[in-house]
Structure formats: structure tokens, C-alpha cells
Amino acid sequence: MANLYNNLNLIDLNDYSVSWWEKLLDRAHEIMADPSAYVESCKGKIMGTLFYEPSTRTQMSFQTAMLRLGGTIIGFDNPATSSVAKGENIKDTTKIVSGYADIMVMRHPVAGSVKAAALTADCPVINAGDGGHLHPTQTLTDLLTLKEEKGSLEGLCIGLCGDLKNGRTVHSLIKAMSCFKGTSFVLISTPELALPAYIKDVLSAGGHPYKEVSSLDDAVGMLDVLYMTRIQRERFASPEEYEKQKGHYILDKKKMAKAKESMIVLHPLPRVDEIAIEVDDDPRAMYFKQAKYGMYIRMALILTMLEENSLKVPLITGKVHNHQKCSNPLCITHKETYLPHYFRGDGTMLECEYCDERTLVE
């Protein structure tokens, strides 16, 4: 039976109110001020970390966060060492682990996979990145970094540069920052790696000014924040297509010289070559500090999700249309074919509940 009204998942940050995010940011600030006060906060609790895709920061910061709260961890960081290698589906693996753990963190290479897991899980599920779709806890990390380093989340001009098509951190951050007054966006990419239409719709709906440009050199001087991203090699259909895009944007000292003194550089990491090592010593380079903020916000998130019992956030708001296929070939419904085909909306256009892609009614 699907868990359509499970209230304790974090699949998409925008399922929650801005005031809920702000409470998390305040809590992370308090934890940073006195981490020792929290060493027994999750004593006796177990977190399951299911990483079907490689990770350094997200996995280890979640694990460290739970250990620093006095809890313990189980899980895998390589599905090849679990029964996934024998052909077990997401539903069965996550159902079992959710019976062992009090909270579960999952990363998977396919869009919509974590929502699929949450549909039948028996404990709260946190999305640690689902394919090229969303990465809500990276966004919480980014929001904490912006709040701590810029003092406010309002009135910022944010440049996002690189793989805006496949970068799930970009999609989640734009959705979140569109909720704050005075945000404007500069989208810096090649035409091939431009932002998907459904995320542009978020910008238009919020009335936020944005421009699409191809030159980082021309854009860097107008920014309060530059969010650099890696070209996501693993999301390309062929190595040749990746080769055409790689190395296009490189932030170096010369470009930093054109930026405001107050601009900060963020990057979800890992980097490949898009930020030259020479930039690391610039006081505006905030990406290593950003990764550390990620541990504190995840401590706040784990604490809050294990305590929360009042919120009601439905996982699914649409209806089943089993005859209809999602237009996104990278959607989980094409891989795990037992999943009900949930879509929002009606008329000629439907939105997939798992990956958010729009699909013309067949």
C-alpha cells in the first residue's frame, strides 16, 4: 500500500514552507555555536544510508552528522556489495532497511527514485540526490552558507555556471531561491546545457528576473554569488557529447579580478577543472567552508525529522494514469515498472510525480 501521506520525508525542499527551512538554518547556527550540547541527542537512533551512486560529501556529512548526534549508522556505499547486485528492486531494498533504521538517506542515479522508495518505506526518507533531478540537502547546505556568509537570503544576484541541464544542485537551488524577495539569476551555460523548461517555469512564475548568457567573463562582474558546477559526465548519452562540453567554463584568478570584492564562490563539489586551484586561496572562495556547513545543516535536519510529528506533507497530490508513460526516459517509472504512474494535473499536459517532467497526454 502506497504511503501517499507519509509526513516525514524530504524529497523536494519546496514541499515545505520557507519558515520550516529557516527554522532548520537557525537550528544549524545553534549547533555550530555549541556542538557538544548535542552529542547525545540521537542516542539509540539508527540511520540507514543507501548510496546507489558515488558520494563523498553527502554520504560522509550525513554519517558524521548522525555520529556527532550520538546515533549510529548502517547502509551501503556501493550497491554491488548489497543484494541490489542480485537484482533486488528499490521497493524491496528500501522497505527492508526502513524496518531496521529510524531514518533513511538515499542517493540513486535515476530521477524520482527516492520518492518511489518513500512510497512504501516505514521510516522517514531523505533525498540525497536522485539522478539529474533534485538534491535538497545540498540546497539546505547552500542556503546555510549564503545566510552565514552574506547575512541574508534576500536581494541576491546569483550566477549559476556550467551544467544547468543535468545539475540537480542547480535545480534545487533555483527552486529554493525563487522563494526569496529580490533574487535575480544569471544562467551561464552553453545552449546544450541550458536549464530545463520546467525550472525556467519556476523562475517565470515567481516573477524573478533572469538572463541566459554564454560568457562567464561578461557576467562575473554583476554577481553577488557565483555558483560553479561540474559538467556531469555520467549524465551524457555518449562520451563524444561530454567531450564537446567539457572545459568550457574555467574560473581562474583573471576572472576573479573582474568580480566584486563581496562576491562569494560556491560549488557543491566535486570539482573537475571548472575552478582553477589558484582560486582556492582567494577569501571569496567559499566551497570548502560550504561543505562543512553541510554537516551542521544535516545535524539540524536529522534532529528535526526524528522529532517532527505535526507536519502533513503528501508525497503524491495527483492521480494514477497507468496507461500514460512519462516522457523523461531517465525517470524511475521506466526502470521500476511496478510503480504506479502518478501524474499531477489534467487536460493535455500532465506532470510526472516522480521526476516532475511534463508529458503530453497520449
68 annotated ligand binder? no
233 annotated ligand binder? no
Distance from C-alpha of 348 to C-alpha of 251, rounded to nearest angstrom: 43
In this structure, the dihedral spanned by the alpha carbons of residues 151, 152, 153 and 159, taken in order and rounded to 10 degrees, is -60
Side-chain-facing half-sphere of 279: CA atoms under 13 Å: 25
269 annotated ligand binder? yes
57 annotated ligand binder? yes
What x/- string results for residues 116 through 135 when contact with ligand CP is judged by CB under 6 A?
-------------x------
- Is 138 one of the binding residues for ligand CP (CB under 6 A)? yes
Nearest residue (CB) to ligand CP, 62 versus 342: 62
283 annotated ligand binder? no
Q: By CB under 6 A, which span of 22-30, 32-40, 116-124, 262-270 interacts with ligand CP?
A: 262-270
Distance from C-alpha of 97 to C-alpha of 101, rounded to nearest angstrom: 6
* Sign of the CA dihedral running 87, 88, 91, 93: negative
List the one residue from 5, 22, 43, 56 that touches ligand CP (CB under 6 A): 56
Nearest residue (CB) to ligand CP, 57 versus 341: 57
Nearest residue (CB) to ligand CP, 67 versus 96: 67
End-to-end distance of the chain based on CA atoms, in angstroms? 27
The total of other beta-carbon atoms located within 10 Å of residue 213's CB is: 15
Q: Is 262 exposed, middle or buried (0-12, 13-18, 19+ CB in 10 A)?
A: exposed
- Is 55 one of the binding residues for ligand CP (CB under 6 A)? yes
- Is 58 one of the binding residues for ligand CP (CB under 6 A)? yes
Distance from C-alpha of 160 to C-alpha of 247, rounded to nearest angstrom: 16
324 annotated ligand binder? no
Q: By CB under 6 A, which span of 20-28, 31-39, 238-246, 265-273 interacts with ligand CP?
A: 265-273
Q: Which amino acid is at 172?
A: S
Smallest distance from the beta carbon of 270 to ligand CP, in angstroms? 6
Smallest distance from the beta carbon of 173 to ligand CP, in angstroms? 11
List the one residue from 57, 171, 175, 255 that touches ligand CP (CB under 6 A): 57
Nearest residue (CB) to ligand CP, 68 versus 208: 68
List the one residue from 270, 288, 320, 349 that touches ligand CP (CB under 6 A): 270
Tell me which residue of 91, 113, 116, 117 sits closest to 104, measured CA to CA.
Answer: 117
Nearest residue (CB) to ligand CP, 220 versus 269: 269
DSSP string, 74-118: EEES-GGGSGGGGT--HHHHHHHHHHH-SEEEEEESSBTHHHHHH
Nearest residue (CB) to ligand CP, 109 versus 112: 109
Q: By CB under 6 A, which span of 22-30, 52-60, 115-123, 154-162 interacts with ligand CP?
A: 52-60
Tell me which residue of 48, 52, 76 sits closest to 62, measured CA to CA.
Answer: 48
Question: Cis ω on the peptide bond leading into residue 35 (within 30° of 0)?
Answer: no
List the one residue from 269, 285, 301, 339 that touches ligand CP (CB under 6 A): 269
In this structure, are residues 11 and 136 in contact, taking their beta carbons and an 8 Å threshold?
Answer: yes
Nearest residue (CB) to ligand CP, 247 versus 270: 270
Whole-number Cα distances in Å, 324 to 308, 344, 347 = 36, 12, 13
Q: State the residues that interact with ligand CP by CB under 6 A.
A: 55-59, 129, 138, 268-270
- Known binding-site residues for L-aspartate equal 86, 168, 230
- Known binding-site residues equal 57-58, 86, 107, 135, 138, 168, 230, 269-270
